[in-house]
Amino acid sequence: MTPTASPITDVSQLDANGSYTYADYLSWKFEEMVELVRGKVLRKMAGPATMHQQVSSSLQGEPYQYLKRKACQIFAAPFGVRLLRSTGSSDAQVRTVVQPDLCVVCDPAKLDARGCLGAPDWIIEIVSPGSVVLDTRTKFDLYAENGVTEYWLVFPLERAVLTFALQNDEYQPTGTYEEPGLVPSRTLPELALQWADVFERVS
């Protein structure tokens, strides 16, 4: 969009029907976390609930230790991921910027001071009641379209993990985990999380 004369200091100043770029995104002066999906602004929910944070911490721990001294790295939100399918890579061309709950990036060339430029190898979203449509539909399609090769949906309330792998530009289910046992990763085949560890802090 054409920059306005005065800075954007509140999310309410944004045009719900407008189309924005990463250059616009960088110019905004408010603290509320938002995402851009194909130029449209999506407001993030208020700060994650305790259960969400507990599951996020549990999911990070073992991969973080495993990935020490390896090329792949794990990142937790807030961490901006600029997805480039059908656009160029300049700030004025990028129209999708998301903040995944967790992501693993194995190509160091995709990392810069502002986050990840291009698709991570693996994204995990922790699904809350208010994010079901976003995580299971909007982002499900978006991540497949942009070449994220592995996608996990984690449901703390149901204590369930659904895993998907990209095949022919579409996600195919690779597992549903709802009881104690191993939850394997396609991206890191030597790493398997224990279902019980993922949900150990959830009461």
What CATH number does residue 119 fall under?
Answer: 3.90.1570.10
In a domain, 33, yes or no: no
Report the pLDDT averaged over residues 152-175: 97
- What pTM did the predictor assign? 0.92
**How many domains does the chain divide into?**
1
Q: Are 202 and 51 in contact (CB under 8 A)?
A: yes
Strand order, beta sheet including 111-112: 40-43, 34-37, 96-98, 81-83, 115-117, 111-112
In a domain, 24, yes or no: no
**Res 2 pLDDT > 70:** no
Residue 160 domain boundaries: 50-80+98-198
pLDDT (tens digit, 9 = 90+) per residue, 32-82? Answer: 889 999 999 998 765 568 899 999 999 999 999 999 889 999 999 999 999
In a domain, 27, yes or no: no
In a domain, 90, yes or no: no
**Res 21 pLDDT > 80:** yes
pLDDT band with cut points at 50, 70 and 90 for residue 86: confident
Q: Are 198 and 59 in contact (CB under 8 A)?
A: yes
In a domain, 37, yes or no: no
In a domain, 41, yes or no: no
What are the φ and ψ backbone dihedral angles of 167, each rounded to 5 degrees?
-140, 120
In a domain, 40, yes or no: no
pLDDT at residue 48, as a whole number: 67
Percent of the chain clearing pLDDT 90 (strictly above): 77
pLDDT, averaged across the chain: 92
Q: Are 109 and 74 in contact (CB under 8 A)?
A: no
Report the pLDDT averaged over residues 24-36: 90
In a domain, 181, yes or no: yes
